[in-house]
Structure 1
Amino acid sequence: MVKAIRIHKTGGPEVLQLEDITLPAPGPGELLVRNRAIGLNFIDTYFRTGLYPAPHLPFVPGNEAAGEVVSVGPGVTEFKPGDRVAYVATLGSYAEERIVAVNSTVALPEAVSFEAAASMMLKGMTAEYLLHRTYKVKPGDTILVHAAAGGTGLILCQWGKALGAAVIGTVGSKEKGELAKAHGADHVILYREEDFVARVKEITGGKLCAVVYDGVGKDTFLPSLDTLQPFGVLASFGNASGTVEPFNLGLLGPKGSLYVTRPTLFTHIAKRETMVEMASNLFGAVASGKVVVPVNARFALADAANAHRALESRGTTGSTVLIP
């Protein structure tokens, strides 16, 4: 028996219940992993509320964690008991231990801590594909990062700066602005006090941005189109303010033949070799010091409900982890 958070009905943070569960032995191509740190992400709240439907009820939420291999299933040769690993996978990480597929797991270098790894398998791998695959950032680009003081935002700011881009970040407070600046943002815009479109035009001298990375959604999507250069890319990768409402595709033409995309991490990591390549790129950036993953809050696994409340209030900065 191990402790896990289970959801029996969708709803508010109060539906997160700590329970005992029994795990089967790992099957072919599977590992039993003892989680040492578990990542907290906005997508967890989407499954909790039912915005993203879980395949069944009850279910254990969570998509990322880091820990040690306890045992391996038949035919598994890539990992052995005791190995340090990190994973981003289907639901099930809010637990002391879990069964996870080898294809969703990567070896964790000693240079990267369990907490950092648990904080960046989803957020960091998201930043990897956004910066290197959705739009390949190059020196001289100006990029706009919404929610720049959040977990993914801080990684985007640092890594974008390391790639030679000028980074503009939007934040909700002066304190968050200082945090974003400390992590690579050249300019910060206080979106509650300033018109971010007007400020982007002012900051760039009217040249605007090559790409907007938008994890906020409903509140920022349409205005963000007006911050893009001709042929610019709006990458909408999250819905922190609500889902993006249907819009007239015809807007993209007169605004500069713009591109809009809604990429997901799980499409990018569907191929094992691509996932390993992305993780290697991410771990390399962290090990080199180009990217620092700030873990600014820790909650016990049993206190997952309060962790969700903090996240949804937008009161958190950087990454938050659950400790089993």
Structure 2
Amino acid sequence: MMKAWVHHETGAPDVLRLEDRPQPRPARGEILVRNRAIGLNPVDWKFISWGRAGWDWPHIPGVDGAGDIAELGEGVTHLRPGARVAYHNDLIRPGSFAEYTVIPARAAIPLPDALSFEAAAALPCPGLTAIQAIEKVPLWSGAHVLLTGASGAVGGALLQLARSRGWIVHAVCSAAQSARVRRLGAATVLDYRQDNWREIAAERTENQPLNAVFDMVSGEHAASLASLLTANGHLVCIQDRQEKAPLPPFTTTISLHEVGLNAMHAHADDLHWGKLVDAGATMAKEIVSGRFDPQIIEVESFDQLPAALTRLEHGPNPGNRVVVL
């Protein structure tokens, strides 16, 4: 048996109950991870509230975790018991809010020995989402991009990746996070609470065109920024997507992109996962070397998980919240 946070119904994080549940066993192509730390993400509290078709009840939520491999399923030869890994798990599966979690072996991100499990657990969902977003856009060193939600976990990861590629990042966030976002590499910062920030951004594009916009808010919000892009620019939606073209045809002919990390579990092949895991492993090494900030703002104990998830729901969240076992 194992301890796990489960919910028998949908609702706020306080519907979670700490219960004894059967310890799972890995099937072919899977591994069993002994969780040492759990990364909390907005998708966790959202799906506890919404529910999802295909869940077995009671459900163990949680998509991100880090720990060591306790058992290998049949056919897994590229990993070994005891190896340190982080992972992003499919929302449909029993999740990471437990002492043990079964994951597909192809989703295991190898970790350097020097990386703490706390930092590793903050990596998968924000980091892999940022990697997916940035790889949508084939830009050059010196390209100018606009990033909304720059102070959040995904936004901060994307900002750091963009700077590592030599892009000039114009960030949008709250004024309270301006200094931190500049430390992460933003060239300019606009306060989204300022009514005319879009007009300021538009004036700047008259002298310095934007090659890409990365939006963390909604499809509608992203569409409102499409006119800021120069010819052949890129509009990347990390929340929602564009159901119709936001600009008239044969104008700036921008490209539209959607990002959905969880969709990888159902629709990506092993080659896709191999590339994503490799990128995650590189990010893990860069945390150790100090070239990437995991943006941890809270480390809480396992018995306080629902309270930490409630703080995540209500924010603010200028980074990642992590639970340790």
Match among 106, 111, 116 for residue 108 of structure 1 = 111
Match of 1:265 among 237, 246, 261: 261
Distance 2:196 2:300 in 1: 35
The residue aligned with 1:149 is 151
The answer to whether the 8 A contact 2:90-2:262 is kept is: no
The change in CA–CA distance for 1:25 and 1:57 in structure 2 (over 3 A counts) is closer
Specify the alignment match of 2:80 in structure 1: 80
Partner of 1:224: 225
Aligned length: 317
Deviation at residue 123 of structure 1 after TM alignment: 1.1
Tell me which residue corresponds to 2:235: 234
Aligned with 1:93 (options 74, 93, 96): 96
The 8 Å contact of residues 148 and 170 in structure 1, kept in 2 or not, is answered as yes
CA distance in 1 between counterparts of 2:4 and 2:49 reads: 18
- Distance change >3 Å, CA 88–CA 252, structure 1 → 2: farther
What TM-score, normalized to structure 1?
0.88
Measure, in 2, the Cα distance between the counterparts of 1:90 and 1:15.
Answer: 21
**Offset at 1:13?**
2.1
Equivalent residue runs for 1:7-156 within 5 Å: 7-50=7-50, 53=53, 55-91=55-91, 92-132=95-135, 134-156=136-158
Name stretches of at least 5 consecutive residues in structure 2 with no aligned partner.
none
Q: Give, as a single letter, the amino acid of the residue that structure 1 aligns with 2:84.
A: R
- C-alpha spacing 1:110/1:312, structure 2 compared with 1 (3 Å): same
Aligned pairs (5 A) from 1:168-317: 168-172=170-174, 174-217=175-218, 220-238=221-239, 249=245, 251-253=247-249, 256-268=252-264, 270-288=268-286, 289-317=290-318
**Per-residue CA shift, 1:94-117, capped at 9, x if unaligned?**
111112221221322224332222
Q: Structure 2 vs 1, CA of residues 55 and 210 (structure 1 numbering), >3 Å: closer, same or farther?
A: farther
1:58–1:285 Cα change, 3 Å: closer
Report the Cα distance in structure 2 between the residues aligned to 1:250 and 1:221, rounded to whole angstroms.
9
Q: Say which SS state the counterpart of residue 224 (structure 2) adopts.
A: helix
Structure 1 residue 220 displacement after superposition = 2.4
Deviation at 1:278, TM superposition (A): 2.5
The whole-number CA distance in structure 2 between the counterparts of 1:155 and 1:2 is 33
Instruction: Give the Cα–Cα distance (whole angstroms) in 2 for the partners of residues 51 and 189 of structure 1.
Output: 36
> Counterpart of 1:171 in structure 2: which amino acid?
C
- Structure 1 residues 53, 298: CA separation in 2 closer, same or farther (over 3 Å shift)? farther
Query: Alignment partner of 2:247: what SS?
Result: helix
Separation in 2, partners of 1:155, 1:275: 19
**For 1:274 and 1:302, how far apart are their aligned partners in 2?**
36
Distance in structure 2 (CA, Å) of the matches to 1:283 and 1:28: 24
Percent identity of equivalent pairs: 29
Q: Give TM-score, length-normalised by structure 2.
A: 0.88
Partner of residue 4, structure 2: 4
Change (3 A) 1:225 1:298: same
Tell me: CA distance 1:35–1:204, structure 2 relative to 1, closer, same or farther (3 Å). Answer: same
How far 1:234 moved relative to its partner? 1.5
> How many angstroms does 1:293 deviate by?
1.2
Task: Report the CA distance shift for 1:83/1:19 in structure 2 as closer, same or farther (over 3 A).
Answer: same
